[in-house]
Chain A
Amino acid sequence: QQKVQQSPESLIVPEGGMASLNCTFSDRNSQYFWWYRQHSGEGPKALMSIFSNGDKKEGRFTAHLNKASLYVSLHIKDSQPSDSALYFCAGASSGSWQLIFGSGTQLTVMP
């Protein structure tokens, strides 16, 4: 059974600051990774997917993947109060029916 270590559990950054979130997966068959964001009272929404080694940038968000160490990270540049939410990493293997989620990082951006 896939285990996912996500850190930190909670993170407070000032508006305009950088937020960094991390995950490590245990299943060597993991190939596909996502970051999801969940605002209070809503369902999780996919923020970014990353399937290849290296960095992927979308606006203020940069995801990083190292497949050898099964490590993914998310960096949020110029954080905004609207970025305050619960962030999950998630991973799946090829053809798998299961998307396994990390335990979440509660991000608070202080104005």
Chain B
Amino acid sequence: ETAVFQTPNYHVTQVGNEVSFNCKQTLGHDTMYWYKQDSKKLLKIMFSYNNKQLIVNETVPRRFSPQSSDKAHLNLRIKSVEPEDSAVYLCASSLGQGRNTLYFGAGTRLSVL
């Protein structure tokens, strides 16, 4: 049963454009994440956010920024996309951190032409 919803499923854009992806979770979790899955299927953490703290993976380029209106929503904005941003972006949520299981959405596939 899906409880982490991502939109859109796919997005095609051109280099230099701005894009925004949405994520909503209905699990009542307090922590949300964005992961990037590249063409080799590797999963890399980008951000972790709860209502107290945003943690950014230091390797994430500054053109990426998370945006949250409440603990159930965490969007991802990319200013001026580049070809290497083509990937699947996966949103996840958990109840706290550490020993808590992550629940993922189906992902947004971004293609940058």
**Chain A residues engaging chain B, CB cutoff 8 angstroms:** 31-32, 34, 38, 41-46, 49, 51, 86, 88, 92-101, 103-104
As a 0/1 sequence over residues 48 to 66 of chain B, the CB contacts with chain A under 8 angstroms (1 = contact) are: 1000000101000000000
B97 within 8 A of A: yes
Which one of B57, B99, B101 contacts A94 once the chains associate, using CB atoms below 8 Å?
A: B99
Question: When the two chains form their complex, are residues B99 and A31 in contact, meaning their CB atoms are under 8 A apart?
Answer: yes
Question: When the two chains form their complex, are residues B48 and A98 in contact, meaning their CB atoms are under 8 A apart?
Answer: yes
**Which 6 pairs between the two chains have the least Cβ-Cβ distance?**
A43-B104, A97-B48, A101-B43, A32-B99, A46-B101, A97-B55
Residues of A within 8 A of B105 (CB): 43
How many A-B pairs fall under 8 Å by CB?
Answer: 59
Question: When the two chains form their complex, are residues B97 and A103 in contact, meaning their CB atoms are under 8 A apart?
Answer: no
Question: When the two chains form their complex, are residues A97 and B107 in contact, meaning their CB atoms are under 8 A apart?
Answer: no
A99 to B103, CA, bound (A): 12
B19 within 8 A of A: no
A65 to B59, CA, bound (A): 30
Residues of A within 8 A of B97 (CB): 92, 95-97
Most chain A CB within 10 A, of B92, B97, B106, is at: B97
A94 to B96, CA, bound (A): 11
Q: How far is the CB of B48 from chain A (nearest CB, A)?
A: 4
B4 within 8 A of A: yes
- Contact A94 B98, CB 8 Å, known A103-B42, A104-B42: yes
Residues of B within 8 A of A95 (CB): 97-98
